[in-house]
Amino acid sequence: MKYEEFTNKIIKDLKSLFDEVRIDNEDRIYIAKGVTNVSVPIKPMYQEYLLYGYTKNLKNYLKIINNILDTYKFKLDLSNVFPLIKQKTNDNNISKNFVEKDLFCDLKIMYVSDLGEVFRFVLKEDLKNANINLNELEEKSMINLNKMANILSRLDNSLEIYSLRFTTDFAATLFLSKHIQKQIKQKVGDDIVFCMPSASALFCARYRESTFSIYKNILQNLMTIDTDINKISNHIYRRDCNGNYSIVV
């Protein structure tokens, strides 16, 4: 095979094995799998093909490519994974690779690895690579979340609106923790309205028809002044005494 024919054939064969394969520039092939990638020079591949033949050459380079990709592959550690509440999106191209599940109304749960300075969303491929199933991920992430301590306290003595005393990037998601749920039941009640405008904000109040209009306006104002850029939802939700969720505003 001539150089151009070889290049077209190797790209075609690699495309059947990896997520993305394309000519990066005139002399290199870009190969991606999941969130890792490698760039391989074409000329040395062609020279080795002339020496060893196509099949052996392809096998050798597949081994090299996979070794490089595996070296930089993200390794999921269940000790630092957490659930994270996010708003659902209609963009299937964004959500199809992430591990997620419906929560209620327009909200969903995604999963993140806390890497210190940043969060990394867990991909379906991460579970496969780590040989971890979804149930294990869900269970361990909730165990980790339940280890977080916080206090539900009144924003103002004159109002029965509560928020978390200590700031955290998991404030909204702590709504799911058994400790915060216990405090909500004790301090607010079983029939509640609440909002989570961003990852670091959670506000809730007892639902009463007589005070709902006032509290609705206050909650909307609190959402307006929330400065966290990691937005979740501008809705106000209700959970009634039977545990049913609905959007009320």
Domain boundaries, the chain: 3-71, 78-145, 152-247
Averaged pLDDT, 175-197 = 97
Tokens of 1: 């095979």
Averaged pLDDT, 171-185 = 98
**Res 93: pLDDT:** 58
Q: Do residues 108 and 102 lie in contact, with contact meaning Cβ atoms separated by under 8 Å?
A: yes
What end-to-end distance do the CA atoms of the chain give, in Å?
Answer: 67
d(CA 57, CA 64): 11
Residue 32 has pLDDT above 70, yes or no: yes
Q: What is the pTM of this model?
A: 0.74
Averaged pLDDT, 30-34 = 86
Averaged pLDDT, 232-241 = 97
Q: Which residue matches tokens 């969060």?
A: 119
pLDDT of 115-131, one tens digit each?
Answer: 877 888 998 988 988 89
